[in-house]
């Protein structure tokens, strides 16, 4: 119980810091949570988001991969990975990740959404 409470505290602190745009500090809080429970897909995913915002894209991909390894059913993580891969000019890998997100949550394939965004954001 104490372990769960500590993880929730660090994760919550990370969320507050993320929402305050203090991304480096948010990453540190997420890392504290991961030291206690390294198998938290949710924490890995949020760490990936913070890393991505800081333009640490390769590190973000690694964090997303950890989250996916722990819980492959998180469509939003697949989506974030796909968007990040697209920014890194890896369109084929991006589409594979986006297709995984859509397979999990078909609503992500609505007209005017993900695949259309990829064509707009495509790095040439």
Contact 98, 118 (CB under 8 A): yes
pTM for the predicted model, two decimal places: 0.87
Least confident interval from 4-8, 9-13, 82-86: 4-8
For 97-124, how does the pLDDT look when each residue is reduced to its tens digit (9 = 90+)?
Answer: 998 998 998 887 765 566 666 655 554 4
For 36, residues 6+ apart whose C-beta sits below 8 A from its C-beta are: 3, 6, 7, 10
Output DSSP code: residue 110: S
- Per-residue model confidence as pLDDT tens digits over 72-88: 999 999 999 999 999 99
Tokens linked to 91: 């369109």
Helix ranges (DSSP H) in 1-113: 2-19, 23-36, 41-53, 57-70, 75-87, 91-104
Give CA–CA dist 117/99, Å, rounded.
14
């Amino acid at each position: 119980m104490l372990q769960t409470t500590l993880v929730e505290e660090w994760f919550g602190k990370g969320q507050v810091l993320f929402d305050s745009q203090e991304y480096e500090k948010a990453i540190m809080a997420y890392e504290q949570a991961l030291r206690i429970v390294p198998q938290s897909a949710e924490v890995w995913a949020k760490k990936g988001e913070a890393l991505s915002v800081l333009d640490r894209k390769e590190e973000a991909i690694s964090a997303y991969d950890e989250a996916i390894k722990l819980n492959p059913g998180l469509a939003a993580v697949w989506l974030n990975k796909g968007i990040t891969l697209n920014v890194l000019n890896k369109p084929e890998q991006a589409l594979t990740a986006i297709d995984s997100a859509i397979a999990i949550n078909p609503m992500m394939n609505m007209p005017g959404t993900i695949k259309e965004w990829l064509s707009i954001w495509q790095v040439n």
